[in-house]
Structure 1
Amino acid sequence: MRTWRRRRHTVRVRLTALYGGMFLLSAAGLLAITNAVGLSGTRVSQSAPAATPPEEPMMPAAARQIASLQAQLAESQAAYTNRLLIASAVALAVMGLVAIVQGRVVAGRVLRPLRTITAATRRITADSLHERLAVPGPDDEVKDLADTIDDLLERLEASFSAQRRFVADASHELRTPLATMRASLDVAMAKPGPVPAQTAVLAGRLRTELDQVDRLLEGLLSLARAQHASLTGRTTLALGDLAAEALDARAAAITAKGLTVESAGLAAAARTRGNGTLLARMVDNVVDNAVVHNQDGGWIRLSATTGGATAELVVETSGPVLSQEQADRLAMPFQRLAADRTGSGDGSGLGLSIVAAVAAAHGGTLRLRARPEGGLTVAIALPSAGVPA
């Protein structure tokens, strides 16, 4: 935002200098022509000799009087020339200020449609692609630019809608063959008689892969549902309660890895309003990420606070040292770090991307910060719903 404003003001300054310079040059040229004509007439009158009759000798008194009059005339013409030059300089300075003001006004009027287009474009996000600029006015270059942006928004809206429909439809359609495969596998393993060891091992591997695909489809559905931003069934929930429930659900995994959990900072006042299913999935993904991608014997620190109009959930974890670039990539779909850096090769890379999508759908933000000592800090900021009476 700051860079955009600096560039916009730079363009206005350039246009002001251009228009002001043109006005100033025009005024300077006009004054130069006026002074040239006036001073040339003065020089002609000064150089003209006094007409005296050649036949009669001039009387001394008359000659002295004529000389005095000529001197007075020369002084008057010199004073007139000085006043003309001073007045021209003052007029040029005044015209310079007027030219700068006029140039700035004209530059502002020229850039006003562009500022309107820029502000309207910045208001349009991935969740409001249906909006259009619809700039009125004659068919000039500015309107052509606005119409081009409207066409681009229309294509983007169609592309986003098609992508979301594809993800949702594909996830739904793939559930049926997965369920069929799982049922066929259970029927084959439930037949009477001894089951060969290789068949049992193969069945276990297939179940593991089916579970992984099922989690992937569930993640895709959650991501598509969050990106649609069609939040129905809004309710007020406490972020601390959701985090506590997620910790209780993973008590066995926490004990198996020997993790130390600090959750004394889960304030009940940190409440937000939104879709309960999506918010629960968001907090569940954050806590699951903190448990799965943590080192054995590590720690987890959770806090839920509220300040002003924002409720924030912060989850800090121990772990290997990561760069901030690696941390930023974790919020992108299907982005995972190597197993030797996270300590786990499980997951589909959708966990934190779902968190980011759910937070954005509720008007919040997700911030990921790599800790210099190792590990990750995940901060979710959402609009606060206040404390109910």
Structure 2
Amino acid sequence: MARAPGPSVRLRLTLSYAGFLMVAGALLLATVWVFLLRYVPDRALLVPSGTHLNGGVFPVRSALLRVFAPRAAAALGFLLVFGLVGGWVLAGRMLAPLTRITHATRTAASGSLSHRIRLPGREDEFRELADAFDTMLARLEAHVAEQRRFAADASHELRTPLAISKALLDVAHADPGHDSEALVDRLRAVNTRAIDLTEALLVLSRADRRSFAREPVDLSLLAEEAAETLVPLAERHGVTLDTAGEVAPASGSPALLLQLTTNLVHNAIVHNLPAGGGVWVRTGVRPAGAVLTVENSGEPLSPLLVSTLTLPFRRGSERVRTDHAGVGLGLAIVKTITDAHGGTLTLTPRRAGGMRVTVELPQPGPRAGG
């Protein structure tokens, strides 16, 4: 924002210090003058020798004023110079931390987020501000790095179906006798995957912005709806789907929470045993809020692998099925939706194989206007 130039803070502080010192000095001298006039007897006020006018002696008080005034003016002049010089030095020392903070701010504004103030010294207002600014820079740097990594991964994932489509079309163009029906089927599959990825990115972006209205939601109903929708998929994979639990009231976006539940059940089905697997969906209430738990059977998973599964486009090689690799955003969307609702997401490998995913959402607060 454009601003008109004005005096610096250091100059204003200097003038303030000097002005205060001048006022204090003037008050002190006025006090001394009043004290001399009111409480010192006239005979005690000696007239300096040589102060004669027309052969007579100045009146006592007039002579005192002639002696006192120039010395008072000299004292005030000294206080003015001392106040300006001392105030300028003191203001510079006091504002030195602010100069470092300003430099760090300009460095960050230029695009360098790795710079830190690291202001030394004991705790005070400036150091509290500097520490808060360093914390903000660290979080911002991590967020920007995450966004860049996500953009690079998303670009790679979106480029893959386009490259496959181009390759298929090039082959068909080079070989006019190529089976067009098979080409159409493959192009349809590639296009479907690109659409799924795009929709997943849109859901992820919407949840990350937290641009949704909160409504009362029952996680048990969402679990039943997701399970009913995915029963055909479970049957194709030979997976038994079991849903049970009690009413689990929460507050949030019904569409996003349904997406969360569907993603969890979908992942539990497709990342399972080749045959005879199971998925167990449970809902309940804890003191902290509503809980949704999705467990599945499968191959044993390491805690290190499980800890990375919520990262975008991270597909654990031990979990990927050749018939449904997905787009790599299922659990990333779950984590983003959970965070947007102020909840917690916990992934735990099961001893018997597979994984347990627990989503805990806070209890719904009072509705606005209620």
**Shorter-chain TM band:** 0.5 to 0.7
Pick the aligned partner of 2:337 from 337, 354, 358.
358
| Larger relative helix fraction | 1
Distance 1:366-1:156 versus aligned 2 partners, 3 A rule? closer
CA contact (8 A) 2:238 2:276 kept: yes
Counterpart mapping for 1:74-223 below 5 A:
140=121, 142=123, 143-144=126-127, 146-147=129-130, 149-150=132-133, 153-154=136-137, 156-157=139-140, 160=143, 198-223=179-204
Shift of 1:221: 2.0
Shift of 1:367: 0.6
Shift of 1:202: 2.1
Pick the aligned partner of 1:304 from 251, 269, 283.
283
CA distance in 2, matches of 1:141, 1:386: 41
Shift of 1:231: 3.9
- 3-state SS of 2:261 partner: helix
- 3-state SS of 2:260 partner: helix
Shift of 1:293: 0.9
Residue 220 of structure 1 aligns with an amino acid whose one-letter code is: L
CA distance in 2, matches of 1:322, 1:160: 29
Mark the runs of 5 or more structure 2 residues left unpaired by the alignment. Answer: 1-118, 169-175
Which residue of the partner structure matches residue 381 of structure 1? 360
CA distance in 1, matches of 2:177, 2:364: 58
Pick the aligned partner of 2:311 from 329, 332, 338.
332
Q: Deviations over 1:14-66 (max 9, x none)?
A: xxxxxxxxxxxxxxxxxxxxxxxxxxxxxxxxxxxxxxxxxxxxxxxxxxxxx
Distance 1:166-1:336 versus aligned 2 partners, 3 A rule? closer
Distance 1:387-1:258 versus aligned 2 partners, 3 A rule? farther
CA distance in 1, matches of 2:146, 2:328: 18
Instruction: Indicate the RMSD between aligned Cα atoms, in angstroms.
Output: 3.9
Which residue of the partner structure matches residue 264 of structure 2? 286
- 3-state SS of 1:250 partner: helix
CA distance in 1, matches of 2:212, 2:184: 40
CA distance in 1, matches of 2:281, 2:340: 23
Which residue of the partner structure matches residue 224 of structure 2? 244
Q: Deviations over 1:60-109 (max 9, x none)?
A: xxxxxxxxxxxxxxxxxxxxxxxxxxxxxxxxxxxxxxxxxxxxxxxxxx
- 3-state SS of 2:179 partner: helix
Mark the runs of 5 or more structure 1 residues left unpaired by the alignment. Answer: 1-137, 186-194
Distance 1:236-1:197 versus aligned 2 partners, 3 A rule? farther
Distance 1:141-1:204 versus aligned 2 partners, 3 A rule? farther
Residue 218 of structure 2 aligns with an amino acid whose one-letter code is: A
Which residue of the partner structure matches residue 294 of structure 2? 315
CA distance in 2, matches of 1:368, 1:158: 27
TM-score, structure 1 as length reference: 0.52
CA distance in 2, matches of 1:244, 1:235: 19
Residue 226 of structure 1 aligns with an amino acid whose one-letter code is: A
Residue 272 of structure 2 aligns with an amino acid whose one-letter code is: N
Alignment: residue pair count: 235
Which residue of the partner structure matches residue 263 of structure 1? 243
Residue 333 of structure 2 aligns with an amino acid whose one-letter code is: I
Which residue of the partner structure matches residue 40 of structure 1? none
- 3-state SS of 2:208 partner: helix
| Further displaced range: 196-205 or 282-291 | 196-205
Shift of 1:341: 4.1
